[in-house]
């Protein structure tokens, strides 16, 4: 159960909207999200209308045309990029010319900036977005595609590509009506591995993710054939802390996408844990993940419920024991570090040593904005969540050799029972101090993890994606 955002509801009511406008108060827009688990229309998404542009020879456009065709996304060409029409038509999608005076409301803007070779050429960004931003529909998506600066052929090109990050993060803060913006750095060999990432960022799945710079590297393994409906069918996922809140949402979304979910939580949560597992047609394992025998217990459960091995491991379980450091007990320090990052490392080791994590599997950790920006009274929690990020960075090159990816999500203010107990003033500040002007939902974290777990997300490893509505903290 999550707390309701009464201001969000009021500001979007007939009376509240007039009052907010009169007083100059912010009016956060209710975000579009995917339907819940069990809805017969879960996988049907109205395709967004995209306006496409690019700079220079824009080498990503032909592949982008194919991806938009496969995703069923209609498109229009910016006046400076009319060659897009031929790319789209060759890919099997009819496309026309964008004309802002016609009143068309695109849902997405996509710009290939990967060929920008010096800072002077950044003016192409100005031209494209100056012409198109005012026409955007509500809850729209802006994607800028670039080249990882380290792979640029000249120092000048590297500098220009690095500039894209400042541009996109700033643009995301200027967008209104629930719109978001992201930067996708795409390595040359990752051009054929765009599908799952476009599927995520162009849909309501990415409702609360904004201002992010994501790098698609050379895939650590071959990208399987596309399967957008139930892409995790036949796979097994373990989710710790699955009895409630964010963990329950993660388990629910992974099950929606076809996975058999092993729901893990402490023995004290046995009753709600069993209920979640039964609802999702998964299995429940009541286990203290900090216990010395936790790895053996999990392996025994998997031997029965997943004899072919494990495909997805989500380290969600975590606790807080907030105190300023001078008032914090050693037990409060140690318990947070042990549960939040010690146990995940031990479980990783146990599963890797046993060979249970199959090739092409995914490990996803749940970090936090606190681990990026720090937070008063959370030296233990912030240290543990920064350590989760460190675990991802340290292990990604090692696991890539075994064809396993590891990534993390870093949630900001998410509406849960935990945040519902936060004092009112602090809770309101947490909700409003981001570009979308509201708190996120557990499903926002879950959808991001499902994207990282997607079979076609092999070009993503070593990434930390903030699910925070572009929080002003840690930005």
Mean pLDDT for back-to-back runs of 10 residues, the chain (475 residues): 65 71 75 73 66 97 95 94 95 91 91 98 97 95 98 98 98 96 96 93 96 90 70 96 97 96 97 98 97 97 94 96 95 96 97 94 96 93 97 96 96 84 73 91 97 95 96 74
What DSSP string describes 198-267? HHHHTSGGGTT--SEEEEE-S-SSPPPPP--SSTTTT-EEEEESTTSHHHHHHHHHHHHTT-EEEEEE-G
Spatial separation of the C-alpha atoms in residues 353 and 373, rounded to whole Å: 34
Spatial separation of the C-alpha atoms in residues 27 and 34, rounded to whole Å: 22
At residue 266, φ and ψ (nearest 5 deg) are: -70, 155
Q: Where are the domains of the chain?
A: 50-216, 236-467
Distances (CA, A) of 295 to 143, 171, 307, 351, 354: 41, 45, 16, 7, 10
Consecutive H or E run containing 53 = strand 50-54
Spatial separation of the C-alpha atoms in residues 462 and 448, rounded to whole Å: 15
Residue in 7, 37, 185, 381 annotated catalytic: 381
Which distant-in-sequence residues (6+ apart) come within 8 Å of 379 by Cβ? 324, 325, 328, 333
Query: Quick one: tokens of 318?
Result: 């975590």
At residue 61, φ and ψ (nearest 5 deg) are: -65, -45
Query: Quick one: tokens of 315?
Result: 């380290």
Contact in structure between 436 and 28 (CB atoms under 8 Å) = yes
Closest CA to 252 of 33, 30, 410, 455: 33
Contact in structure between 122 and 160 (CB atoms under 8 Å) = yes
Residue 327 is predicted with a pLDDT of 96
Spatial separation of the C-alpha atoms in residues 421 and 443, rounded to whole Å: 20
Contact in structure between 24 and 49 (CB atoms under 8 Å) = no
The pairing of beta strand 180-186 with beta strand 141-146: parallel
Residue 475 is predicted with a pLDDT of 55
- In the block, tokens 């720090």 appear at 374
Query: Quick one: tokens of 363?
Result: 């490990």
Residue 46 is predicted with a pLDDT of 64
Active site residue 37: no
Are 50-216 and 236-467 the same fold in CATH? yes
Strand partners, 216: 186
Total residues belonging to the chain: 475
Please identify, in words, the CATH class of the domain defined by 236-467.
Answer: alpha beta
Taking only the tens place, the pLDDT of each residue in 52-73 is 999 999 999 999 999 999 999 9
Please identify, in words, the CATH class of the domain defined by 50-216.
Answer: alpha beta
Residue 334 is predicted with a pLDDT of 96
DSSP E strand boundaries for 73-179: 75-77, 95-97, 108-112, 141-146
Contact in structure between 440 and 409 (CB atoms under 8 Å) = no
Residue 1 is predicted with a pLDDT of 41
Query: Quick one: tokens of 320?
Result: 């807080």
Residue 180 is predicted with a pLDDT of 98
- In the block, tokens 């025994």 appear at 300
For residue 90, how far is the Cα from the chain centroid? 31
At residue 395, φ and ψ (nearest 5 deg) are: -90, -15
Residue 285 is predicted with a pLDDT of 98
Residue 40 is predicted with a pLDDT of 41
Spatial separation of the C-alpha atoms in residues 229 and 465, rounded to whole Å: 24
Task: Spell out a b/e string for 394-421, using b for 16 or more CB atoms within 10 Å of the CB, else e.
Answer: ebbeebbeebbbbbbbbbbbbbbeebee
């Amino acid at each position: 159960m999550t707390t309701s955002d009464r201001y969000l509801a009021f500001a979007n009511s007939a009376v509240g909207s007039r009052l907010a406008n009169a007083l100059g108060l912010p009016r956060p827009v209710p975000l579009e999200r995917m339907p819940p688990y069990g809805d017969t229309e879960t996988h049907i998404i109205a395709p967004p209308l995209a306006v496409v542009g690019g700079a220079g020879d824009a080498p990503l456009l032909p592949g982008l045309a194919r991806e938009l065709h496969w995703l069923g996304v209609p498109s229009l060409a910016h006046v400076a990029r009319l060659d897009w029409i031929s790319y789209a038509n060759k890919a099997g999608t009819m496309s026309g010319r964008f004309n802002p005076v016609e009143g068309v409301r695109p849902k997405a803007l996509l710009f290939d900036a990967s060929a920008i070779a010096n800072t002077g050429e950044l003016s192409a960004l100005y031209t494209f977005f100056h012409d198109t931003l005012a026409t955007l529909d509500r809850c729209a998506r802006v994607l800028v595609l670039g080249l990882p600066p380290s792979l640029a052929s000249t120092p000048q090109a590297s500098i220009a590509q690095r500039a894209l990050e400042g541009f996109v993060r700033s643009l995301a803060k200027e967008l209104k009506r629930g719109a978001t913006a992201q930067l996708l750095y795409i390595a040359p060999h990752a051009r054929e591995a765009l599908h799952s990432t476009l599927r995520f960022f162009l849909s309501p799945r990415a409702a609360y993710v904004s201002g992010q710079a994501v790098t698609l590297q050379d895939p650590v393994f071959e990208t399987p054939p596309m399967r957008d409906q139930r892409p995790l069918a036949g796979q097994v996922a373990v989710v710790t802390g699955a009895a409630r809140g964010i963990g329950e949402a993660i388990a629910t979304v992974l099950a929606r996408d076809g996975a058999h979910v092993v729901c893990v939580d402490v023995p004290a949560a046995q009753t709600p844990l069993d209920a979640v597992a039964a609802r999702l047609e998964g299995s429940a394992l009541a286990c203290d993940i900090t216990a010395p025998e936790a790895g053996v217990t999990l392996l025994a459960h998997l031997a029965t419920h997943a004899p072919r091995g494990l495909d997805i491991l989500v380290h969600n379980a975590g606790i807080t024991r907030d105190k300023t450091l001078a008032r914090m007990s050693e037990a409060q320090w140690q318990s947070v570090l042990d549960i939040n990052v010690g146990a995940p490392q031990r479980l990783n080791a146990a599963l890797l040593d046993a060979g249970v994590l199959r090739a092409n599997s995914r490990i996803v950790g749940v970090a936090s904005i606190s681990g990026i920006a720090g937070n008063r009274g959370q030296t233990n929690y912030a240290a543990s969540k920064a350590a989760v990020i460190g675990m991802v960075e340290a292990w990604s090159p090692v696991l890539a050799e075994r064809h396993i990816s590891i990534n993390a999500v870093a949630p900001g203010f998410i509406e849960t029972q935990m945040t519902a107990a936060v004092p009112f003033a602090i809770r309101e500040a947490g909700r409003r101090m981001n570009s979308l002007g509201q708190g996120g939902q557990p499903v926002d974290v879950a959808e991001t993890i499902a994207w990282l777990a997607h079979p076609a997300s092999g070009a993503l490893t070593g990434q930390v994606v903030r699910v925070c509505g572009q929080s002003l903290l840690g930005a």
